[in-house]
């Protein structure tokens, strides 16, 4: 199956680089950002194969231009961030495979143009297209690897809004150069009589097989989700919206009200989406296509819960390992940092945790285990238990619970004790990292995990009686990891009735000593997540104590209604499974989300 390329920007972005921008290829100055892709870039050169430009030269120029765009302050923040993410994606195994695949197609196309030898490559392109159509609902739309004569504007958008903003519609279209190949083979077709009954019957059989295959894929999709919205789900969605007080809604500086816009978007979607639970993910394609760049920046930057930074001692200790690529040298630094008999858990826990994680990683790199095709539980035991579970050793109020059959995720961060079942985080784990738009990443970070984190957030806010001063500093944390890849996510309630969903950058555990620095960023991110969870625990406990201390007079006089006392609506009930769907969905809810683990392992030190 052909590997899909992540989009640099939303489908309807009209931004173009300034003509005076230095070290930026003219392609980015003449094409709107919605058409920025490596495939379209190389198609411009495939149209004239006599230019003598190599594939590697094109790739280098394309990447250098993205890197330069990322440094230009005149470029919108979202586009700069996506350019950086695209460059990072190219360095991942999936990105490398994508480049190899496009290199092969590039030179095959050159040979076709020069030698008119179409048979082998044409067959390959048709095979790839046939495989891709079977999975078309799971792929991100990208321009064709071959030039297409079909204008992009001919693809209608099923989403519309009266505000003038474009909506993101994920219609998966993959085109081939079939017509070109047929036209070039006209001479051969004159000598081959294909208009026979047997040939027509064979074509009909192929179409029936293709239709049956597509139906099986649709049936499989409806059994596993996301699920088509039914009438009762739409009624529930509308009821949640009508119950909101407009005076408490989140009004942006542009004048638009976030809850109203989410309601409009949700009514146009055929399948369940996080929007139906009033969860707003600023990196979701539909959201990015609907709100302006300025509105997205305002949404993302509004009232982020305060989290204390880890100490300067921790920062300095992590800095000792920057730039180190010699494993023996790293071992020596760890050895010199061991506390021995002077160890004090309250003072030294985080440094000791870092030593444990780094030492375990050094051993895995030396043994070469990280380059093997390992199972999910192997990663959970050897990698994620060390990196994530062990960081909470000094937080006695919570524990990481994995492997529960009734759990909503692969692991839950839960308060200890029989009576208190507060939950502060959740995560999902998978075996292999495919790409940013892989099925696991798509479904978990796009729908299931946000709903889980919002449910936890609402439970905590209920515990503190929806106090306006406390709720703004409460958040829940999620981690998704697959293989060696991971991403942190946060859910909070900045304003109104909206649950905001924020994501970190994708991070990768290094499998070689040369990339050892990347683990330092991961450990710092995990320590920050622990600080966020600790702050949430403290805020919840402080409010409970305040409530307990103010019980005098209960039942004798009414308590005054608190100002700004409003509650977020509950998550939408998951639509019931549909056994069979006769029509292919053309309104998939996402591209866009990678991923965590399982039981504890024996100590590695």
25 within 8 A of 61, measured Cβ to Cβ: yes
Query: Could you tell me whether strands 411-415 and 423-430 are parallel, antiparallel, or unpaired per DSSP bridges?
Result: antiparallel
- What's the distance, CA 556 to chain centroid? 52
132 within 8 A of 2, measured Cβ to Cβ: yes
For residues 179-196, b (16+ Cβ closer than 10 Å) or e, as one string? Answer: ebbeeeeeeeeeeeeeee
- Give how far Cα 191 sits from Cα of 112, 120, 168, 185, 194, Å: 22, 20, 47, 11, 9
Phi/psi at 170 (5° precision): -95, 80
The confidence score (pLDDT) of residue 432 equals 52
Q: What is the DSSP string of 435-478?
A: -TT-HHHHHIIIIIHHHHHHHHHHHHHHHTTT-HHHHTT--EEE
493 within 8 A of 457, measured Cβ to Cβ: yes
Which tokens go with 380?
A: 């959970």
Please state, in angstroms and rounded to a whole number, the distance separating the CA atoms of residues 572 and 276: 6
Q: Residue ranges per domain, the chain?
A: 27-166+176-187+203-213, 231-301, 312-546
Residue whose tokens read 């009033």: 278
Q: What is the DSSP string of 510-534?
A: -SSGGGTHHHHHHHHHHHHHHHHHH
Phi/psi at 189 (5° precision): -70, -25
Local mean pLDDT, 10-residue blocks, the chain (605 residues): 64 71 82 82 72 79 86 79 83 83 81 59 50 43 39 37 37 35 41 45 48 46 66 93 94 96 94 94 90 94 85 92 94 88 85 94 93 85 91 86 66 75 82 50 66 93 86 90 88 94 90 94 95 90 56 52 70 70 42 40 40
Residue whose tokens read 């760890």: 334
| Polymer length of the chain | 605
The confidence score (pLDDT) of residue 514 equals 94
Which tokens go with 280?
A: 């707003």
536 within 8 A of 464, measured Cβ to Cβ: no
Instruction: State the pTM of this model.
Output: 0.58
Rg (CA), the chain: 27
The confidence score (pLDDT) of residue 249 equals 95
Residue 228 DSSP symbol: B
H/E stretch holding 421 reads none
CA 297-298-300 angle, to 5 degrees, is 65
Please state, in angstroms and rounded to a whole number, the distance separating the CA atoms of residues 188 and 481: 53
Select from 374, 435, 424, 376 the least CA-distant residue to 401.
424
The answer for residues whose C-beta is within 8 angstroms of residue 378's C-beta and 6 or more apart is none
For residues 80-101, b (16+ Cβ closer than 10 Å) or e, as one string? Answer: bebbbbbbebbebebbeebbee
């Amino acid at each position: 199956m052909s590997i899909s390329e992540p989009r640099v920007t939303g489908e309807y972005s009209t931004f173009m680089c300034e003509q005076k921008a230095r070290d930026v290829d003219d392609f980015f100055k003449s094409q709107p950002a919605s058409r920025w892709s490596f495939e379209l870039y190389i198609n411009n050169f495939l149209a004239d194969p006599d230019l003598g430009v190599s594939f590697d030269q094109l790739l280098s120029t394309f990447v250098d231009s993205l890197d330069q765009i990322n440094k230009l302050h005149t470029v919108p923040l979202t586009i700069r961030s996506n350019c950086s993410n695209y460059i990072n994606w190219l360095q991942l195994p999936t990105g490398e495979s994508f480049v190899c695949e496009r290199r092969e197609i590039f030179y095959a196309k050159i040979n076709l143009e020069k030698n008119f030898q179409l048979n082998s490559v044409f067959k390959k392109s048709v095979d790839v297209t046939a495989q891709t159509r079977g999975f078309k609902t799971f792929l991100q739309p990208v321009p064709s690897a071959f030039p297409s004569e079909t204008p992009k504007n001919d693809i209608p958008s099923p989403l519309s809004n009266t505000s003038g903003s474009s909506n993101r519609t994920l219609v998966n279209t993959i085109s081939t150069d079939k017509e070109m190949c047929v036209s070039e083979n006209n001479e051969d077709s004159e000598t081959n009589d294909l208009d026979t009954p047997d040939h027509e019957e064979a074509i009909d059989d192929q179409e029936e097989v293709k239709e049956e295959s597509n139906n099986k894929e649709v049936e499989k999709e409806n059994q596993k989700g996301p699920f088509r919205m039914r009438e009762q789900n739409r009624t529930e969605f509308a009821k949640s919206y009508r119950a909101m007080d407009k005076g408490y809604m989140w009004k942006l500086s542009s004048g638009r009200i976030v809850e109203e816009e989410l309601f409009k978007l949700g009514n146009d979607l055929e399948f369940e989406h996080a929007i139906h639970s009033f969860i707003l993910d600023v990196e979701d394609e539909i959201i990015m296509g609907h709100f302006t760049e300025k509105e997205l920046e305002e949404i993302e930057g509004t009232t982020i819960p305060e989290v204390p930074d880890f100490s300067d001692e921790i920062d300095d200790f992590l800095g000792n390992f920057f730039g180190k690529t010699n494993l023996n040298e790293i071992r020596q630094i760890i050895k010199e940092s061991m506390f021995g008999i002077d160890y004090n858990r309250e003072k030294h826990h985080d440094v000791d945790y870092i030593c444990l994680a780094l030492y375990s990683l050094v051993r895995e790199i030396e043994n070469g285990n990280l380059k093997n095709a390992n199972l999910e539980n192997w990663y959970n035991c050897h990698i994620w238990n060390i990196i994530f579970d062990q960081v909470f050793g000094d937080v006695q109020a919570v524990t990481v619970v994995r492997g529960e059959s009734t759990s909503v995720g692969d692991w839950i961060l839960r308060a200890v004790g029989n009576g208190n079942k507060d939950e502060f985080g959740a995560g999902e784990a998978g075996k292999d990292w495919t790409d940013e738009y892989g099925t696991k990443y798509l479904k978990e970070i796009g729908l299931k995990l946000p709903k889980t984190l919002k449910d936890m957030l609402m439970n905590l806010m209920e515990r503190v009686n929806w106090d306006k001063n406390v709720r703004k500093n409460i958040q829940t944390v999620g981690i998704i990891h697959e293989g060696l890849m991971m991403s942190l996510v946060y859910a909070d309630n900045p304003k109104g009735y909206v649950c905001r969903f924020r994501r970190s950058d994708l991070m990768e555990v290094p499998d070689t000593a040369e990339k050892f620095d990347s683990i330092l960023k991961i450990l710092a991110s995990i320590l920050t997540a622990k600080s966020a969870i600790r702050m949430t625990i403290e805020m919840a406990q402080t409010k409970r104590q305040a409530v307990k201390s103010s019980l005098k007079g209960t039942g004798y006089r009414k308590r005054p209604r608190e100002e700004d006392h409003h509650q977020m609506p509950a998550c939408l009930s998951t639509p019931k499974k549909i056994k069979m769907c006769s029509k292919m969905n053309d309104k998939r809810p996402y591209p866009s989300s990678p991923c965590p683990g399982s039981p504890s392992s024996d100590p590695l030190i």
